[in-house]
Structure 1
């Protein structure tokens, strides 16, 4: 659905994008993450035809963005991070205006926008003035507007910025529903916990380059695999410690009451063998699990430039 190859953009001596590559399959909900100034908004503006790249290609459903064709505009729905000012326009007038931009009018337009307003929970606001709506309602209205022409790709730039927790949750559920309907969604956000809950894939950009990209499941598995093992036992602590110290995959051991925290560099098979050896030695194991990882911790590691070289070599070897 979306292919970005060697994308480059500079502003004077500042390289906003420096050879960015992204591949997104049809039906994916792709989270685009990076620190401020990493190149996220620049990428989105080039994708949507609002900015011209210095080099590289952006291809959406087989159409090159650089051509700026009308066909391309029909394939993209764009939700910016800031809702524009529309004084003295009612919600239905706002929707009718944007429908007319795509040649949709009359009963067809009304049927379409009423369906969308219902989907985003604004059907009862159809006669309200746009500037009277809350920020969360405006964001949902902006989403409905972006879907008026039934685009294949939905692009959102920090859509949950400034929203309260309940509104963010509702917005997240709408996006998940849209993906289930077959939409491909590209979302830039700083709310990493929510991205990990709803995205199928994720890419982390830093200093204009993609530093990590892959399926959410694979990336979170990798995060969890690097986290400590927590082993809860009900007795025979000394026997358990003797076994752990004999294992080459065990790097460090910390004991707190009935829990043993182990930095373990082995794979799933070696974890299973360790558990089996504890059970065979009659150590009463009450719990055996990896400490859960998080997208936030991974993001901090990846974008910590003091550790960047080591982290990137490690991730590239993983095949992600």
Structure 2
């Protein structure tokens, strides 16, 4: 399955702008589509499913144009928005029957499909319950069942875990994996990054309307999170400050590590731990432990703290903000220069 966009923009006050890109998501794979509030995730998704028209550019899913082939997109794609549209005095089976009819599914196969999607989502026991009386977690199960009614190849789920309690999030995670096992291609947005990292085969990061990173979780960690975090555990509380100073001095004088700052090394007396970040590889960092031991420093543990999806996301967002600050400063300097030129 291939999702392509080219110079895609949507203007209304702010805008979404995506450079030419191609996201390869295979059958049975889950893509995590993440970004901060206002980054353009929902707008991009709504364009992909044909609910919004872009100001410029185009978008395709599996070769079908999201504007010109709207009928094909509707048959191929199932979209679950981040809000649940409930109808008063309608039972779950009636709710699903309504949407099945909207997709043009005949009466007999529609009733059979209702039973199938309720079984897939572990919601069979809700069949005769009123939709508007369901809990948030139960409504999300029904929403996914609704999205499955026309048996789409691609499912785009916008914040499916939003507002769920821990138990419901675990159930949602299992459901996403079950859908992938059924061969569905899933594109999922979420702000709960640890949960998303457990199920995603691929990750796409977007900030301010632009794709910043795409690949497997390992690729993202390797390419985005360039600085590694280490912890040094000492034996006594009063050794923390001395150990932190020794690590700080060693990193500052090491010719390979660039721009080491004091803030890169911190000590926690309560935990008896020194933490530091570095770009050094394992062979380059190994002499540090030898140096500490040679200085008489007692070391109980020396380990790397593995980064996660949240760390990578913060790196991308931070780099984006820094780039904007530089651009803003450049524009300010340019305006000031022009002003001085006009006054001379």
TM range (shorter): 0.7 to 0.9
| Superposition map of 1:46-61 within 5 A | 46-61=47-62
Deviation at 1:77, TM superposition (A): 0.6
Aligned counterpart in structure 2 of residue 307 of structure 1, from 322, 325, 328: 322
CA deviations 1:187-211 (Å, max 9, x no partner) are 1222222222221222222221112
Aligned to 2:57, the other structure's residue is in SS state: strand
The alignment covers a number of residue pairs equal to 310
User: TM-score, with normalisation over the residues of structure 1?
Assistant: 0.81
Is 2:225–2:311's contact at 8 Å kept on the other side of the alignment? no
**In the alignment, what sits opposite 1:128?**
129
* 1:9 matched residue in structure 2: 9
Please list the CA deviations of residues 163-190 of structure 1 after superposition, one character each: whole Å capped at 9, or x if unmatched: 2222122112211221122211111222
| Distance in 1 (alpha carbons) for counterparts of 2:182 and 2:12 | 42
Against the structure 1 CA distance between its residues 86 and 256, is the aligned structure 2 distance closer, same or farther, given a 3 Å change threshold?
closer
Provide structure 1 residue ranges, at least 5 long, that are not aligned to the other structure. 312-320
Deviations 1:39-60 (A, max 9, x none): 1111111100111122222221
User: Is the contact made by 2:35 and 2:205 (CA closer than 8 Å) also made in structure 1?
Assistant: yes
Q: Name the structure 1 match of 2:341.
A: none
Distance in structure 1 (CA, Å) of the matches to 2:325 and 2:31: 26
> Counterparts of 1:34-45 in structure 2 under 5 Å?
34-45=35-46
Per-residue deviation, 1:279? 8.8
Segment drifting more, 134-143 vs 155-164: 155-164
Say if 1:279 and 1:57 are closer, same or farther in 2 by CA, change over 3 A: farther
Q: CA-atom RMSD, angstroms?
A: 3.3
Does the Cα contact within 8 Å between 1:223 and 1:293 map onto a contact in 2? no
Aligned-pair CA distance for 1:123: 0.5
- Which one has the bigger helix percentage? 2
Q: How many angstroms does 1:28 deviate by?
A: 2.6
The CA distance in 2 between the partners of 1:75 and 1:273, in whole Å, is: 57
The residue aligned with 1:317 is none
Q: Which residue of 1 aligns with 2:330?
A: none
Q: Deviation of residue 283 (structure 1)?
A: 8.4
Counterparts of 2:314 and 2:75 in 1: how far apart (Å)?
A: 37
Could you say what secondary structure the match of 1:86 adopts? coil
**What's the secondary structure of 2:45's corresponding residue?**
helix
CA radius of gyration, larger in? 2
> Offset of 1:244 from its aligned partner?
4.7
What corresponds to 2:21 in structure 1? 21
> Structure 1 residues 152 and 310 mapped into 2: Cα distance closer, same or farther (>3 Å)?
farther
Stretches of structure 2 lacking an aligned partner (at least 5 in a row): 327-344
Retained in 2: the 8 A contact 1:49–1:68? no
Q: Which residue in the other structure is 1:137 paired with?
A: 138
**d(CA) in 2 for partners of 1:223 and 1:208?**
18
Question: Which segment is superposed worse, 278-287 or 75-84?
Answer: 278-287
- Is 2:262 the counterpart of 1:248? no
Separation (CA, whole Å) in 2 of partners of 1:12 and 1:123 = 42
Q: For the Cα contact (< 8 Å) 1:2–1:58, is it kept in 2?
A: no
Q: How does 1:166-315 map to 2 (within 5 A)?
A: 166-222=167-223, 226-232=227-233, 241=246, 244=250, 247-249=254-256, 251=260, 259-271=273-285, 286-304=300-318, 306-308=321-323
* Contact preservation (8 Å) 1:301, 1:307: no
